[in-house]
Amino acid sequence: MVIFGIDLVLLISALMISATPVLLAAIGEAVVEKSGVLNLGVEGMMITGAVIGFIFAVNTQTPIYGFICAAIAGALLSVMFAVLTQYIMSNQVATGLGLTMVGLGLSALIGKPYEGIKSPTLSKIEIPILSDIPVLGPMIFSHDAIVYFSVILVATVAFVISKTRIGLVLRAVGENQEAAHALGYKVVRIRFLAIMFGGATAGIGGAYISLARVPQWTEGMTAGAGWIALALVVFASWKPWRVLLGAYLFGGITVLQLNLQAIGVAIPVEILSMSPYLVTIVVLVGISLFGHHTAPGSLARPFHASQ
Amino acid sequence: MIQLEKRRNISKFWTTLTPVIAVFLTMSFGGLMFGLLLGDFSSAFGAIKLIFWDPLFDENFAPYARPQLLVKAGPIILIAIGLSIGFKAGIWNIGAEGQYILGAIFGASIALSLYPQESILIFPAMILAGALGGFIWALIPALLKVYFKTNEILVSLMLVYVAENILASVSQGLLRNPEGMGLPGSRNLKDYPSAHNSEIIPNSGMHWGVLTAFLAVILAYFLFLKHQKGYEIRLAGEAPKAAYFAGINPSKTIIFCMGMSGLLAGMAGLFEVAGPAGQITMSFNSGYGFTAIIVAFLGRLNPLGILLAGLLMALTYIGGEIAQLMLGLPGASIQLLQGMLLFFLLATDIFTNYRFKSRSS
């Protein structure tokens, strides 16, 4: 299926790959924000995941170890944020920004010797039977493990948040921290774990950029993906399936503009490369216009049991 | 058992002391990090001395480094003063980098379109255009917040990436030097006397942007201490409901705060491009817009504090360059050092907001 010189099968398949990093980071951040915490350090955790994942994948020649180490690195970095905001009661906006700066500096520092090396890539997993379906098969059922993992993760998060007790407690803590505390839930501990979960998924998302999408390490290669993940959470009104929708829409725009650049459309390259950011702004405005304001009630409010 | 208790009023004593503690912690941990990087802990102290002391007092480095201190501190302080106005009101403009870029493009366009005419009016017109460029770029998130309640953090940040693309476009197209043999980058404004942001006192580093930064510090000081508007901004940040019922229009506060910070960032961009940088290139901006966020916090959103914090941050830039040259320390380690500084400051903040109380169980 070729439309205007663009192969639709390749487009959709590339869109899923392109969307996976922001999807992973955004689904983690959605959980963090559901617990009432705003972590603006997503970009820093992603880039750290990207560099750590790359280093371990290159040295072990096994991409999956890279992803595991990236998750651990992202989670460890997020622990710094968690300790500062949950126990030392620092301002969440400032701490998140600090986390991003530390992540960018740290990754540039430790990634220096790895510039210009190629990483081992993930192999595709063709899902039996389903991948044989014409058109749909190569579009959706012929990807690497992390793409499937990200979709399964969204489904799991959606289920846990809406259907289980853990999800109920998480939402209670995020909606009304005082009430949750009065009921005996450990607000700080629950948030701490949510923040670590967000760190781990952001780390995996970052590693997917350096190990699958590019696959190479360059300084600052996440190029704002973490910030777009933050915007996606707002776009999705904190709902997991809408995070998936938003990420794929965003991935679609990214891939489309790259395709348009490649076939040499008469639109300046800079306009095409700024389009994902512009679209994000337009969508944010649209959401604030028409969307329901469903931000968790205690979002970004500090909590201390003495208050 | 030690317990935390929230202070009724934040402690003035700790507010002043914690930045100093944070700097010392950064030096200690930074030294440790450099020791690790160099594989030699005995040189760690030397590295810290090279960054924080030698640029000012070593006879080999000081003649070059002291003027550079003002050159680097000027734009950072100017931007940070603007940001502090918004941060006080709880309005988070984190896209100063974009406003800085737009200010530079607007200001430089005036000069480049008038080249090679000479007039005393050109430089003032450039300053106005720079301020306007930054102001317009900051007005976008401000108006979106006022009319649609769109999150200003995300919008202002997204606009940084848009601004970077505009910068790439104009430095290769619209503003490219016609005599530059096809290379990207505009004419060098240093070779255009009417447009050059020259040093007011030769070899001091003191150019018009530095002077403006000092002026901004003084004006901000009076704004917050003596002026009704400053009080309204503080009230809007500390007690939004009280401010609302006192008849302070939140929309006006948002537009004022965002507009002012954009205006100052835009001016900083113009002074940089017409002075130290000289020309519009794809990478003339050096991340000052982001560093200024650290400076605003480190200076406690207090104009005098920001002045000191800006000078300190400029010192880490220059010291970092020297350390890069002398010890081969990677440039990114300085970025990490600056991030660490912000983290330690936030960590020590607990002393200003809480008191420790021992309680017998």
Parse chain A into domains and list their residue ranges. Answer: 2-117+134-290
pLDDT value of position A307: 52
pLDDT value of position B294: 86
For residue A280, give the amino acid letter: T
CA distance B333 to chain A (A): 6
Residue B121 tokens read as 């009016």
Tell me the pLDDT tens digit for each residue of B293-347: 889 988 888 999 999 999 988 998 888 888 888 887 777 888 888 888 888 888 8
Rg (CA), chain B: 22
DSSP per-residue codes, chain A = -EETTEEHHHHHHHHHHHHHHHHHHHHHHHHHHHTT---TTHHHHHHHHHHHHHHHHHHHS-HHHHHHHHHHHHHHHHHHHHIIIIIS---HHHHHHHHHHHHHHHHHHHHGGGTTPBPP-PPEEEPTTGGGSTTHHHHHSEEEHHHHHHHHHHHHHHHHHHHSHHHHHHHHHHH-HHHHHHTT--HHHHHHHHHHHHHHHHHHHHHHIIIIIS-B--TTTTTTHHHHHHHHHHHTTT-HHHHHHHHHHHHHHHHHHHHHHHTT-SS-HHHHHHHHHHHHHHHHHHHHHHS-----TTTT----TT-
pLDDT value of position B98: 95
Please name the member of B149, B169, B347 whose beta carbon is closest to the beta carbon of A88. Answer: B347
Tell me the pLDDT tens digit for each residue of B225-238: 888 888 888 888 87
C-alpha A45/C-alpha A25 separation (Å) is 9
ipTM value for the complex: 0.84
Say if residue B1's pLDDT is above 60. no
- B347 or B134, which is more confident? B134
pLDDT value of position A205: 95
Residue B118 banded pLDDT, cuts 50, 70, 90: confident
Say if residue B59's pLDDT is above 90. no
Residue A31 banded pLDDT, cuts 50, 70, 90: very high
Say if residue B131's pLDDT is above 80. yes
- B141 or B6, which is more confident? B141
pLDDT value of position B101: 96
Tell me the CATH class for A2-117+134-290.
mainly alpha
C-alpha A125/C-alpha A128 separation (Å) is 9
Crossing angle, helix A145-163 and helix A165-175, to 10 degrees? Answer: 70
Please name the member of A98, A230, A304 whose beta carbon is closest to the beta carbon of B346. Answer: A98
Closest residue of chain B to A285, computed from CA coordinates: B150
Cβ-based contacts of B149 with chain A (< 8 Å)? 288, 293
Q: Is B3 on the interface with A (CB under 8 A)?
A: yes
Tell me the pLDDT tens digit for each residue of A182-216: 888 888 899 999 999 999 999 999 999 999 888 88
C-alpha B9/C-alpha B353 separation (Å) is 8
pLDDT value of position B177: 81
Average predicted confidence (pLDDT) for chain B: 86
Decide if B293 contacts B60 (C-beta within 8 A).
Answer: no
Residue B35 banded pLDDT, cuts 50, 70, 90: confident
Please name the member of A90, A223, A270 whose beta carbon is closest to the beta carbon of B168. Answer: A270
The residues that bridge with B3 in the sheet, in sequence order, are: B357
Q: Do A277 and B144 touch (CB under 8 A)?
A: no
Q: Do B155 and A89 touch (CB under 8 A)?
A: no
Q: Do A109 and B169 touch (CB under 8 A)?
A: no
Average predicted confidence (pLDDT) for chain A: 87
Q: Do A108 and B335 touch (CB under 8 A)?
A: yes
Cβ-based contacts of A112 with chain B (< 8 Å)? 330, 332
